[in-house]
């Protein structure tokens, strides 16, 4: 056992020396490897961070939302259903929600207008006041206590005082959010007092959701229930799909990288060939040379992997993934400007290794083998 | 669904594995026809050189399949949020009929590759390659297996629909439900533990016998396979409950999660490796001792059986620790 | 003793550029002797050397080393035997550039995984024996021809082989250094080692230290005699 470890140590030592003697080639290989990993890792970290963000943000959403359907489309729901839903066993609290979209002709942006829930003391509003999201602040150049002018569809212009602005932390969903008081909302959208956009339900036990949905289907005809889990799933799928698409496109770069690796590993210089011949002649076996070459590959790919990972981490979490934003966040006039919380998962890192280290190793096996089986008598011919 | 990154990675990996093994199998055919160890002709020398490539490639496939197995399960676990009714990996695997078979086939590939590598290592220790024909025959078995495994995995992924309702482990692994999973979980704790630790003691005894007597070696190989089944049953029916500290939670996959200190890895890795080595020893035990290895064969086999036993004991220790550390009391 | 029995070696077998380097050689190399193989280039002497030294396998025929057959062995076993029994000094010395003199000498022993201090001590002792210990830390690119040869000889001896094989050892040296080389051969002989040399150089065939001269042409042995003293 001792000799086996000692042997590996000698081989590794020789490998390091050998690599240092061929700095140029190894540096190129290392750099290309690192670059590919950097790009892929950035995409993965970004996607994961956004998915995580969605999860955190949605944590406060109601477990289920009941919507009214008319001819298959979402319509306003009557307030009379609120007490009915409150009485369904398992529903802790039912509350009507008011929200909708407003198209701002001034800058062509869509705002989500919403009345804060009754238990949201932080964002309580008086008529004439609004709280706006960071995207609107930037877009309309507003600061606290300035006024926002909105034109309702029926013509009247609303002069609303900006009471506060939503923090950037939740910017993923709040970028274009506009909070308004209930009276203002109803007046703005010309809604009577007995309707809501939908009804949010707080449910005690997640396992009871399917049963509750069944009951609602009976008691509130023509309704549809959307659960928080549904929304989460959709978010996860969308971001995951985009990420996967991008990675598939980057597949071309992976292929190019693999060919490059094969070429570099196969392209042994005359000097290198001679050296291996000498080693074989003086008593190194094929397995010794194989071990040596694989150490070489491992050092390059492991080193490049780690460095690429670290750089990608910095890129995504300190520099907001500037290079990737456009593709991954989706098209919109308003871009959220928020800091992604650093979040890495082992699954991600392993997947990344599968996309990079595995093809690289596979590509170098044959060239390495070819070098290692050099005939020992080659140096004498 | 196929664009989910870990899925792309898994498909890529299984493609690489399949191509590698197919090439190796084609080479195996040539070896089985033309192999002549002492010949000095160019054909033989080239084939001998090529065997280095095959063993390197297969070692690579083995490691890849192992990593793939872990990624497959981890991914299934992570993806469970996307499926209605799924709460862990089991749910994701049950979305269509190909999930569990894909997992089992991957496991089978791992085992056959490990067996091959163990036999290969021993074959290389003798100057006349005594086990070469056996080795390459096994390779011809591995090739279709890898292809079927890759195909099943791909079919599974292509048929992952998010609007299917699936069941999670709490439904699959309850004794009341039907099916294999239910059978496994329905074994009561006491008999399961007796079988496990009793089986372990039997393995130790058999292993020690096998280290000295040829006759016991083939038996050890068979016993390894049987003990593997017993161990998995014990994990599902009893040990998992101890780890989760919940008498009705029998999922075999959740044990690899971080919140349980990744204890699953400490159980599964030694168990799988020990079984693979044990089976290889069993196969070799069936063969006559080659003349070229008259002195060394016994020693080599002894070492490998010792390693297999050591790993089984490690597995047993981890299981024991899990039971003792747990706040759950299932017996007495 | 090394015995060759009806040995032939063919390169590029079965192809258009097939070459019969050796034809039907039957030969015995005695231990404790200094043997020289002479002949023009293309005569097969280098090929014979590679077969004797377990550097390659004969296409046909058998080779026995001290009673054990070595010709049909797989590469791994052949390499083990070669490492243990043979030391090689190549025509162009073939030292690994970029490494020091000491590292070059230790190189053949790396796969054995010996303790570093033992290995280093052995290497330093050998360098002392060939009188080049003072250059131990020097990079081999900076050595002169004669110095490089001495390092090559030290390297050949690191595993304490029974047979030392030298291919055209004096081809790149001047007269003074030929004498030095022959002195080293004498020394090896007194230590009980066999030395097998290929050479064009008459000064080598005719040296006192040589016991036997084998002449080759066209892959065959044409002359085999005790050296004239």
Residues 6+ apart with CB under 8 A from B104: none
Q: Taking CA atoms, what residue in C is nearest to A291?
A: C111
DSSP output for A130-179? EEE-HHHHHHHT--TT-EEEEE-TTSPEEEEEEEEE--GGGHHHHTTEEE
Radius of gyration of chain B (CA): 21
Nearest to C110 by CA among B99, A167, A282: A282
Using an 8 Å CB-CB cutoff, list chain C residues near B37. Answer: 72, 74
Residues of A in contact with B83 (CB under 8 A): 233
Tens digits of pLDDT across chain C (229 residues): 899 999 999 988 888 888 888 999 999 988 888 999 988 888 888 899 999 999 989 999 999 999 899 988 888 899 999 999 999 998 888 888 888 999 999 999 988 888 889 999 999 999 988 888 888 888 988 888 888 888 999 999 999 999 999 998 887 677 788 888 888 888 888 888 999 999 888 888 888 888 899 999 888 888 887 755 4
Q: How confident is the model at residue B178 (pLDDT cuts 50, 70, 90)?
A: low
pLDDT tens digits for A17-74?
Answer: 888 888 888 888 888 889 888 888 888 888 778 777 777 777 778 888 999 988 888 8
Distance from CA of B325 to the nearest CA of C (A): 43
- Cβ contact, residue pair C113, A379, below 8 Å: no
In this complex, is the C-beta atom of A29 within 8 Å of any C-beta atom belonging to chain B? no
- Measured between beta carbons, the chain A residues lying within 8 angstroms of B67 are 350, 353-354
Question: Which chain B residues touch C20 with a CB distance below 8 Å?
Answer: none
The CATH code for residues A62-227 is 2.40.40.20
Residue of B40, B124, B129 lying closest to C57 (CB–CB) = B40
Cα–Cα distance between B12 and B10 in angstroms, integer?
5
Q: Does the pLDDT value for residue B158 go beyond 60? A: yes
Chain C residues within 8 angstroms (CB to CB) of chain A: 46, 49-50, 55-56, 75-76, 79-80, 82-83, 88, 90-91, 94-99, 107-116, 155, 159, 167
Among B18, B3, B5, which Cα is nearest to B149's?
Answer: B18
CATH of domain C2-226: 3.40.50.300
Q: Where in chain A is the domain with CATH 2.40.40.20?
A: 62-227
* Predicted local confidence at residue B11, as pLDDT: 94
Candidates C46, C82, C91; nearest CB to A283: C82
> What pLDDT was estimated at residue B241?
87
Mean pLDDT of A246-269: 75
Q: Taking a C-beta distance cutoff of 8 angstroms, is the pair A353, A304 a contact?
A: no
Strands across the sheet containing A129-132: A99-104, A109-114, A177-180, A129-132, A157-165, A147-151
CB contact under 8 A, C112 and A284: no
Rounded to whole angstroms, the Cα distance separating A33 from A303 reads: 9
Task: Tell me the sheet residues that pair with B165.
Answer: B84
Distance CA B173, CA B177 (A): 7
Tokens of A103: 């198209």
pTM, full prediction: 0.79
> From the list B37, B41, B124, which residue is nearest C13 (CB)?
B41
Q: Which of B95, B97, B105, B59 is nearest to B75 (CA)?
A: B95
B303-319 pLDDT tens trace:
999 999 999 999 999 99
Put simply, the answer to whether B48 touches C59 (Cβ < 8 Å) is: no
Q: Are A48 and A343 in contact (CB under 8 A)?
A: yes
> Does A345 contact C at CB distance below 8 Å?
no
What percent of chain B has pLDDT above 90? 48
Q: What ipTM describes this predicted complex? A: 0.88
Q: A224-239, pLDDT tens digit by residue?
A: 888 888 877 777 776 6
CA distance A290 to A369: 7
Chain pair A-B, CB pairs under 8 angstroms: 87
Q: How far apart are the first and last CA of chain C?
A: 23
Does the distance separating the beta carbons of C49 and A10 come in below 8 Å? no
């Amino acid at each position: 056992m001792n000799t086996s470890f000692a042997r590996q140590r000698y081989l590794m030592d020789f490998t390091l020396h050998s690599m240092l003697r061929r700095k140029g080639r190894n540096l190129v290989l290392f750099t290309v490897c690192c670059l590919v990993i950097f790009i892929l890792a950035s995409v993965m970290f970004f996607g994961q961070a956004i998915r995580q963000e969605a999860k955190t943000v949605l944590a406060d959403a109601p477990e289920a939302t009941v919507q009214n359907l008319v001819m298959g489309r979402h319509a306003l729901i009557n307030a009379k259903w609120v007490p009915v839903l409150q009485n369904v066993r398992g529903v802790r609290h039912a509350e009507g929600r008011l929200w909708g979209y407003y198209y701002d002709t001034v800058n062509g942006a869509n705002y989500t207008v919403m009345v804060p829930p009754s238990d949201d003391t932080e964002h309580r509003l008086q008529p004439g006041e609004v709280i706006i999201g960071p995207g609107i602040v930037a877009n309309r150049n507003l600061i606290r206590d300035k006024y926002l002018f909105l034109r309702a569809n029926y013509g009247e212009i609303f002069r609303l005082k900006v009471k506060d602005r939503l923090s950037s932390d939740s910017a993923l969903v709040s970028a274009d959010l506009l909070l308004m008081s209930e009276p203002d909302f109803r007046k703005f959208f010309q809604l009577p007092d007995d309707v809501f956009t939908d009804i949010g339900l707080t449910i005690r036990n997640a396992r009871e959701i399917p049963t509750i949905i069944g009951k609602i289907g009976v008691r509130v005809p023509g309704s549809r229930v959307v659960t928080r889990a549904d929304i989460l799933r959709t978010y996860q799928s969308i971001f995951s799909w985009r990420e996967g698409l991008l990675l598939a496109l980057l597949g071309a770069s992976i292929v190019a990288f693999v060919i490059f690796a094969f070429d570099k590993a196969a392209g042994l210089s005359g000097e290198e060939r001679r050296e291996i011949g000498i080693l074989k002649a003086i008593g190194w076996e094929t397995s010794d040379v194989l071990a040596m070459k694989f150490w070489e590959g491992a050092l390059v790919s492991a080193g490049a992997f780690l460095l690429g990972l670290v750089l990608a981490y910095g890129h995504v979490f300190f520099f907001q993934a500037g290079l990737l934003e456009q593709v991954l966040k989706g098209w919109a006039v308003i871009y959220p400007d928020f800091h992604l919380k650093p979040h890495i998962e082992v699954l991600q890192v392993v997947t990344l290794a599968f996309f990079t280290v595995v093809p690289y190793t596979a590509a170098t096996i044959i060239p390495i083998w070819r070098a290692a089986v050099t005939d020992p008598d080659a140096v004498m011919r | 669904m196929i664009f989910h990154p870990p899925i792309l990675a898994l498909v890529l990996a299984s493609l690489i594995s399949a191509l590698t093994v197919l090439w190796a199998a084609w080479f195996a055919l040539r070896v089985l026809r033309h192999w002549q160890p002492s010949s000095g002709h160019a054909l033989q020398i080239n084939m001998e050189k090529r065997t280095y490539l095959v063993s390197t490639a297969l070692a690579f496939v083995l490691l890849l399949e192992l990593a793939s197995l872990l990624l497959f399960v981890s991914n299934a676990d992570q993806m469970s949020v996307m499926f209605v009714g799924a709460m862990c990996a089991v749910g994701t695997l049950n979305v269509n009929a190909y999930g569990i078979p894909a997992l089992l086939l991957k496991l089978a590939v791992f085992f056959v590759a490990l067996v091959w590598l163990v036999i290969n290592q021993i074959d290389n220790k003798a100057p006349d390659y005594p086990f070469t024909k056996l080795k390459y025959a096994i390779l011809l078995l591995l090739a279709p297996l890898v292809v079927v495994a890759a195909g099943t995995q791909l079919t599974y992924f292509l048929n992952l629909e998010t609007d299917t309702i699936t069941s999670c482990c709490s439904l699959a692994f309850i004794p009341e439900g039907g099916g294999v999973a239910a059978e496994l979980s329905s074994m009561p704790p006491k008999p399961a533990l007796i079988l496990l630790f009793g089986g372990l003691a039997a393995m130790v005894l058999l292993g020690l016998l096998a280290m000295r007597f040829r006759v016991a070696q083939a038996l050890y190989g068979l016993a390894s396979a049987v003990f593997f089944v017993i161990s998995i049953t014990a994990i599902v029916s009893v040990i998992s409950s101890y780890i989760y500290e919940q008498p009705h939670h029998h999922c075999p996959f959740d044990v690899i999660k971080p919140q349980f200190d990744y204890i699953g890895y400490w159980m599964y890795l030694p168990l799988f490796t020990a079984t693979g080595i044990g089976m290889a020893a069993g196969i070799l035990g069936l063969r006559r001792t080659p003349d070229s290895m008259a002195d060394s064969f016994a020693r080599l086999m002894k070492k490998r059986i010792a390693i297999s036993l050591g790993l089984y004991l490690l597995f047993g220790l981890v299981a024991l620790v899990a039971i003792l550390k747990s706040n759950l009391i299932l017996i007495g | 003793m090394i015995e060759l029995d009806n040995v032939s070696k063919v390169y590029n077998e079965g192809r258009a550029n097939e070459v019969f380097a050796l034809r039907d050689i039957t030969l015995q190399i005695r231990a404790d002797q200094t043997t020289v193989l002479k002949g023009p280039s293309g005569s097969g002497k280098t090929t014979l050397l590679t077969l004797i030294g377990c550097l390659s396998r004969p296409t046909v025929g058998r080779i026995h080393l001290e009673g054990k057959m070595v010709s049909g062995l797989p590469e791994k076993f052949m390499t083990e035997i070669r490492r243990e029994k043979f030391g090689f000094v190549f025509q162009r010395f073939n030292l690994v550039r970029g490494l020091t003199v000491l590292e070059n000498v230790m190189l053949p022993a790396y796969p054995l995984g010996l303790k570093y201090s033992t290995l280093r001590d052995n290497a330093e002792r050998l360098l002392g024996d060939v009188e080049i210990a003072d250059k131990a830390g020097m990079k081999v690119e900076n050595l002169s021809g004669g110095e490089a040869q001495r390092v090559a000889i030290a390297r050949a001896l690191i595993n304490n082989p029974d047979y030392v094989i030298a291919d055209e050892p004096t081809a790149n040296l001047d007269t003074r250094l030929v004498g030095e080389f022959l002195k080293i051969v004498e020394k090896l002989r007194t230590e009980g080692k066999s030395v097998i040399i290929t050479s064009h150089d008459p000064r080598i065939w005719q040296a006192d230290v040589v016991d036997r001269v084998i002449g080759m042409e066209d892959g065959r042995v044409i002359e085999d005699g005790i050296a004239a003293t």
